[in-house]
Amino acid sequence: MSPEGRTAGADRPLALVTGASAGLGLEMARVLAQRGWDLVVTARSPAPLDALAEELDETCGAWVFVSARDLSHPDGPDRLIADVEATGRVVQGLVNNAGFGQLGPYPDLDPDTERRMLRVNVDAVVRLTRAFLPGMLERGRGWILNVGSTASFVPGPRMATYYATKAFVLSYSEALHEELRASGVGVTCLLPGPTPTGFQERAGVVAHRRARPDRERVRAVARAGVDGALAGRRRVVVGWRDRLSALLPRALPRDWVTTVVRRHQEGRMGGGESA
């Protein structure tokens, strides 16, 4: 869709949401539109983004601009940034949500997929932050919501690179939150535990307990993330299970926790206890 394709809302602020075609990103886009935000939505698949734009125009009167880009492509983030700039609107909120994982014995995992994961889960987060943070700082207001994971707190055997990307996201977000405290710009990290979206299938998870369709859980996590970002919170963890996953690794020996995570992930590969 061209930037001229829709009329920008009069006073509504604008947020950019990555990974808005499905799962948590789709729900966070819906929540933001309900809270009065216009949006730039991005993912690789244009059809669900177009459908979302139409839905949010009808239901919330939101102006939604679609930029279908592949963030695993070396030029993907720059193309997205150029699309956003071409709208002539300023980004006041940024949701770095796009991401994916890869499960299996490390030597067997596809190195190209791993490289693409690093680009989407880490490089795009940094490049989009670098692109939109300076404007927020100049205006003295804005927020960035980065999607980490309960995986951010522990090493993840059988999903080593994914867990490491999410550890990066948490560390980066917390550090920026602290550094920018007096700036008017908030940086928040949303840390979901297992949430039934397309994530598990794409990661190659064969067996898992909580992957039954549960749109309410996806919505609750999305709502908490958006509200946490709008309130300038440092971290958002939703529900007692995820709070436990965040707390226990700090209280228990790290080597033991790493072994527990390995067993858990091996269960998700289909060869043992499922989770």
Ligand X SMILES: NC(=O)c1ccc[n+]([C@@H]2O[C@H](COP(=O)([O-])OP(=O)(O)OC[C@H]3O[C@@H](n4cnc5c(N)ncnc54)[C@H](OP(=O)(O)O)[C@@H]3O)[C@@H](O)[C@H]2O)c1
Size of the site for ligand X (CB under 6 A): 27
* Cα separation, 65 vs 255, whole angstroms: 46
Helix axes 124-139, 76-86, angle to 10 degrees: 30
DSSP string, 176-192: HHHHTTTTTEEEEEE--
44 or 262, CB closer to ligand X?
44
Q: Which two tokens stand for residue 133?
A: 């943070």
Q: Which of 92, 102, 161, 195 binds ligand X (CB under 6 A)?
A: 195
9 or 173, CB closer to ligand X?
173
**H helices present in the chain, as ranges:** 23-34, 46-60, 76-86, 111-118, 124-139, 160-179, 199-203, 215-230, 240-251, 254-266
Active site residue 162: yes
157 scored as a contact of ligand X (CB under 6 A)? no
* Cα separation, 193 vs 131, whole angstroms: 29
Q: Which two tokens stand for residue 123?
A: 């490089």
197 scored as a contact of ligand X (CB under 6 A)? yes
Q: How far is the CB of 193 from ligand X (least distance, A)?
A: 6
Q: How far is the CB of 266 from ligand X (least distance, A)?
A: 17
Q: Which of 67, 87, 97, 188 binds ligand X (CB under 6 A)?
A: 97
* Cα separation, 243 vs 248, whole angstroms: 9
Q: How far is the CB of 22 from ligand X (least distance, A)?
A: 4
Contacting ligand X within 98-137 (CB under 6 A):
98-100, 120
152 scored as a contact of ligand X (CB under 6 A)? no
Length of the chain: 275
Active-site choice (106, 162, 163, 172): 162
22 or 136, CB closer to ligand X?
22
Residues that bind ligand X (CB under 6 A): 19-25, 43-45, 70-72, 97-100, 120, 147, 149, 192, 194-195, 197-199, 202
Catalytic site residues?
A: 162
